[in-house]
Structure 1
């Protein structure tokens, strides 16, 4: 079905540590999105959302209003927000509703994400051998990638340096102090080759979007952004994933390649058409790998591409203009929708000091998460 879907409202909370609980943050983000759209809560006809550890999204109606709307809980790892968005898009395209909410939120304790292997049908040794704690998995994965493609750890430091520099320009980001590449490299090894300041941190935050049909958008005063595609894919055999009980040899597959290709195909554009981009950067290595996996360069080209400044706000392909996960932290349920929020602001020309020059017209977002799922969108103004 070709029904256009527009984003008419976008809201987020500050990310980081918060005295508020996850539900309170979610309500704040939803109310901000409603205000941005100029729509009252009773006008929303359906809602989709979720968190990883902060409760059920459908219970938010106790604060938002008991209007009887269908509210579906979504939980899909780091792709929770992206999956909620896909569900909201399909609700409009199917004719189920003409105004739909997508919301993601979370609040995590300090420390690394460390799921219990037994919850996934794996033996306890899977954690002790270093494949379950996320910091260890990320280190192993990027170590192999650097080896295979001749990229140095300095590239990882430059990615983080950019993230903190952009975070300093983002009022709602958590990490707002610029750090130099040398300081990042010297910050202490966590899981070789990733140092302390190359990782994001679990935190708290929420983001929400109000989607609408073209008929509704024409009645609103504010500028809408067209959501040209939204795609979710899961891993295929041969992919190297945090919950996959093997390390494949030879050529690896990538769920991000599948999801991004599907999003570009549905939108009728190519990676070279993108003016501003958000890529999952749970660690510096993730952004490096996802540049190639999403089609923006070939494997091994990231070293010179990043060193050239191409991924900076004023570069040919601005990536993670709000500082990404590294500067914002990662409340799992909210990350994917934070990315879309940022691209919406960029396409509207409302990103302040971090605004991409030249009036960007097409944006792209990408999330990747355990146990091997990716969600991608293409947006345009």
Structure 2
């Protein structure tokens, strides 16, 4: 085998860089009349992760041209002929002789080339670009040489049917932070392509399906929030003030003034340390539109504040916020419950209600 012209298979490190041109479901720019659109739900025969070049150097090209670019000197004429004939043992032997790698590594390289070459379009390929998981199916046909004018580059590519996509069937972006570690750890794979162990979860996620565990967790969270709203409305006025104080402090605000007191309008005097933004919080257990209007009037007379949080848990009528452009924010019992849950003080509410 005369291939292996200095090729070093992709190693770990892939640094995502640059900004992609679109963020929603990415339609490919390269299609032909024989292309088959991706229909949901997808049901791939295999699911594989692929690293697009050492350090991610082929990511943007692959994304913009709707291709999967592949190394291992897969466009070398001799290697390509051996792939056509399915002589994977000779491919393996070529790696052993020409690169001096171990038998295990040579077998791995041959198997990765086989997965790429023999894919008939029923393998789901996934990769990470710009901190998003992208996926696609390959069109039929043999790999093509990626850079015919460069005698030192014998990488190849295959076209991705309808291009790479980065959103699930419901249109939700598949960001790295929204995926579990069983999926995100794929980007640490040191070679080029491997099977995805948690393939069932990933396929369901792309199809827009939630696991039973996630459904149960969502339901439990919804029920907890509903219960917290009821308990919050039962709190003593002083306890409600303390709760609101804790919620804002845990959210990053710094309290400059004490809770309550004799001041007629201001219950909490707040500052955001990073931006120095000043705000105050008016806390009312029970309120009305008339009270809100009066508080807003006082707020507008205080020029050093940029925001008013009007926090309440019960109102005699539905409050209407006509001052959003002036920085007025209404915070009802439902929002207080959410803040309490996210800041980890739900137990405090429950304990106060026993």
TM-score normalized with structure 1 length: 0.20
Structure showing greater Rg: 2
TM-score normalized with structure 2 length: 0.21
